[in-house]
Amino acid sequence: MASGPAPWVYRDGRRRRNGPTLLSELVQLVRDIGTSPSSNARESAATNALVACGELEAALADAGHRSAPSVALETDCLAAALLGQALDSEHHAQVLEQLDVPAELLTSTQEGCAFYALHPSSYARAAHDLGPCERALVVGIRTIGATLSAVVASALRGRGVHAARCTVRPGGHPYARTLELDPSRARAVERARAEHALAVVVDEGPGLSGSTFLAVAERLARAGIPDARIVLMASARFDASKLAAADAASRFRRFRTIVAPVEDDIPVYGTSLSGGVWRARSFQHESSWPAVFAQMERRKALIDGGTRLMKFEGLGPTGRAALERGQTLFQAGFVGPWREEGRGYVSYRWEGAPCRAGELDLALLEHLASYCAKRPELCPPRAPPEDLGPMLEKNLAVLGHADVSVPRLLMVRAATVDGRMPPHEWLRRADGTILKCDAIAHGDDHLFPGPTDIAWDLAGAMVEWRLAEDACEHLLNRYAALSGDDARARIDAWTVAYATFRAALTALAFDQSSCSAERGRLARDLHLYRSTITTARLRRGFHR
C-alpha cells in the first residue's frame, strides 16, 4: 500500500450552518459562564464558549464579513476568561446579540479540540517558552488558530507584552500551500516588522505535509520579519524530514518551533490506556487482541483506582453533541452511566468483558437489531448525509478493486451512526446485560462516513461479527420488525461501502504502524474487508 496513492479516509470537516443560529448558540454559551456553579464548571463553560466563538470568528473571516473583527474581540475576552480574568458574561452576551451575521456560514470543525484532546490552555503554557519580548504579533491559522491565537495573545498580555493578533488561511495544494495577505493583515505584519515584534504562528499539527505552517512563516519572512523573530507553535512533535512538503526539513530549520504540552492535559491522574494499551487489561491473551490504529485512538486513562475508564469525547460544539448522544443512549439503556471529568473527558465504569464473535447468540442478535433500529431516533444526524460515491470510487481503485462498481447507496433512515460495531465494542456485564462502548463520538468525527444511513451499522455488525447468512437474515428481520424499515434491498450495497472504507482505513493504519505484531493484526482485518468486497463482486453483481 505504501508505494501507491493514499487511501481517502478523512471527510470534509466544513459544514454549512445557519448564521443566526450559530450566534444564538454562542450567546447562550457565554451566559452559561456566569451561571456556572463551580470553578471547574466555569472553566468548562468558558472553554466551550471560546471554541464556539473561535469557530464563528474564523467563519466570518473566511467570508470577509464586517462582523469578523467584533467577534475576534469577543474571542480575545473569552480566552482571557479561560486564563482566569474576570468576565461580565451578561455584558458580552448582549454585545454578541447586537451583531449582524450572514444567513448562512461555512464552518470548520477544530479537529484538535474535537478529536485529539487539545485543550486551548496548553497554548498558554507554551507561550511562556517564547521568552522575553516587548511586542508580538500572534498569527492564527484558521480555523483552530482563531481560538489558539487568542489564548496565546492573552497569555502574552498577562506578562505585559503588547500582543496584537490576526488570523489567516493559506490556500492551494495541501502539500504546497501559499498565503496572500489582504490589506488589513498586510498592515499588521508591516507594523510587526517596523516594531521589531516577535511573530508567533499558531496552529495545530503540523499535518502530513507541514506546508500550511511553512506558507505563513515564509510569507512573514518575505515581508521583512527576520527568521530569528518568527516562531511556530504546534501541537505535536514532528520529524520535518518525513513531511510531504518540498524540502520541508531545510525550510523548517529556518524557524524556531515550540510544541504545546498537550500530553499534560489529562485532567485527573490515572494510568494511560491510549494507543491500544487498554487491550492488555481487557483480554487475557495477546492473541485475542483486536487491531488498532494507534495514532487515531482517542486518549484514555484508567482512574479512581482502576474502577473507571476516562476517555476524551470532545470540546466545543462537537463535544457537547457527543454528551447529548451519551445521555440519550444511557436513558435508552444502551450505554452505561457516565460522568463529565472536565476538559472534554468523560469517564465510564470499568466493568464487563468484551464480547467475542464466537459468543453470538439470539439474545445478542436481538440486542444488535434493537440498537440499530433505535439509533436513528436516538442519534439523529447533525448535518445532511454526504455523497460517499467519490470516496468509494477512489478507495476501490487504491485497494486494487477497480473491477468493482460503486454501488448505489439508498438513503432511507439517516443517523449519526455508531461506526464501531466489532464484538469487542460490546461489553457483557456479570448479570448478562450488554453495554455499548465508543457509542457517542465516532459517528460524528472527521472520518467517513459521517451522518449516513443506519444500514452502515447493520453492515458493520454483519461484517465484524462474521455473521453467517442465516444470522444476517435474522438480524435484518428483527431490525425490520422493530423499526418498520426493511433494509434487505439495500444492505448489500452498504456492505460494500462499509468494507471498502474499513479496508482503506486499515491499509492506512498498516502503512503507518512500525509494530510487527500490530501489522499482523491489521493484515488480518484487511483480509476480512477485502474478502467481503470480493464476495460482493462475485455474488451480488457489483462489477464493472
DSSP symbols for 106-125: EEE--HHHHHS---THHHHH
Q: What is the pLDDT of residue 385?
A: 96
Per residue in 110-132, pLDDT (tens digit) is 999 999 999 999 999 999 999 99
pLDDT at 266 over 70: no
Q: Angle 198-202-204 (CA atoms, 0-180°, nearest 5)?
A: 155
Q: Is 150 exposed, middle or buried (0-12, 13-18, 19+ CB in 10 A)?
A: buried
What pLDDT does residue 31 have?
98
**How many residues belong to the chain?**
544
Residue 137, strand partner residues: 164, 199
> What one-character DSSP code corresponds to residue 12?
P
Rounded Cα gap, residues 381 and 154, in angstroms: 36
Mean pLDDT across 424-447: 95
pLDDT surpasses 80 at 252: yes
Q: What domains sit in the chain, N to C, each tagged with a CATH number?
A: 1-107 (no CATH), 110-265 (3.40.50.2020), 271-539 (3.90.1200)
Average pLDDT, the chain: 95
Q: What distance in Å separates the CA atoms of residue 205 and residue 227, rounded to the nearest whole number? A: 20
Whether pLDDT at 537 is above 80: no
User: What Cα–Cα distance (Å) separates residue 371 from each residue in 365, 366, 480, 485, 490?
Assistant: 10, 9, 12, 14, 19
Q: Report pLDDT digits (tens) over 193-229.
A: 999 999 999 999 999 899 999 999 999 999 999 999 9
Residue 543 has pLDDT above 70, yes or no: no
DSSP per residue, 163-184: EEEEEE--BS-TTS-B----HH
pLDDT range class, residue 399, cuts 50, 70, 90: very high
Has this prediction a pTM greater than 0.75?
Answer: yes
**What's the pLDDT score for residue 262?**
73
Residue 267 predicted with pLDDT over 80 = no
User: Could you tell me which residue, 326 or 262, shows the higher pLDDT?
Assistant: 326
pLDDT for position 208: 86
What's the pLDDT at 265? 52
